[in-house]
Amino acid sequence: NAGVMQNPRHLVRRRGQEARLRCSPMKGHSHVYWYRQLPEEGLKFMVYLQKENIIDESGMPKERFSAEFPKEGPSILRIQQVVRGDSAAYFCASSYQETQYFGPGTRLLVL
Amino acid sequence: AQSVSQHNHHVILSEAASLELGCNYSYGGTVNLFWYVQYPGQHLQLLLKYFSGDPLVKGIKGFEAEFIKSKFSFNLRKPSVQWSDTAEYFCAVIPGGTSYGKLTFGQGTILTVHP
């Protein structure tokens, strides 16, 4: 059973561009979570999704950030018009029950 | 809002030393508690978890943690560390009674073990 997959592992964008981060949950997991890890900080919750539904987006910045988990395909975290402050590691986790299993993360660098 | 505190930002030990990493949370109700480890360049891996029952839980690689409800603590321990335990350790909490939801993480503790 493959683990949580994330791609790309590293992403470089210039200010103003869009970043799309993908997450494929573990097989059989229908719950997906996104977390952000800023330098020198712990992981901060961003959003929790089930198939075709956003359950909790209390950690999402109000502007430029969006997430989806369509019926088919991976979950996508989209950041529009990136700024340098968006540089961070973005981790996806999936769960079947209480325990969340994490992917390897996408390290976003905004130049 | 609930929060998780890890008191030590960086711990440096020699091999064979004993380890205890502190974790306290602020949440009045039932909680589910986790310790995750992030080895250099790798993703977070679950070390152990506590949902209910015996407050002393054993995890992988010889780690254990004790839940002390009266102290709102869930400290991680290992009697004898190895160089390969060098990593960052995160304590995390999720409100109990809910099967799903956001994890609230502590700031992390970097453990460096010298051979």
pLDDT in tens, A37-96: 988 778 999 999 999 899 999 999 999 999 999 999 999 999 999 999 999 999 999 998
Using CB atoms, pick whichever of B43, B101, B106 lies closest to residue A102. B43
Using CB atoms, pick whichever of B49, B90, B106 lies closest to residue A99. B49
Put residue A18 in one of left, alpha, beta given phi > 0 → left and psi -120 to 50 → alpha: beta
Computed from CA positions of residues B73, B104, A5, B84, in that sequence, does the dihedral angle turn out positive or negative?
A: negative
**Closest by Cα among A67, A13, A82, A83 to A35:** A67
- Residue A1 is predicted with a pLDDT of 53
Does residue A110 have a pLDDT over 80?
yes
Pairing of strands A19-24, A75-79: antiparallel
Does residue A28 have a pLDDT over 90?
no
Inter-chain residue contact B103 with A31, CB threshold 8 Å: no
Residues in a beta bridge with B73: B24, B68
A42 touches chain B (CB under 8 A): yes
Lowest mean pLDDT segment, chosen from A14-28, A86-100, B68-82, B85-99: B85-99
Inter-chain residue contact A101 with B46, CB threshold 8 Å: yes
- Residue A19 is predicted with a pLDDT of 98
Contacts (Cβ under 8 Å, ≥6 apart) of A60: A46, A47, A66, A67
Q: Where are the alpha helices (DSSP H) in chain A?
A: none
Question: How distant is the Cα of B8 from the closest Cα of chain A, in angstroms?
Answer: 13
Q: Which residue has the higher pLDDT, A1 or A43?
A: A43
Task: Tell me the pLDDT tens digit for each residue of B14-57.
Answer: 999 999 999 999 987 888 999 999 998 888 999 999 988 999 99
**Closest by Cα among B25, B13, B20 to B89:** B20
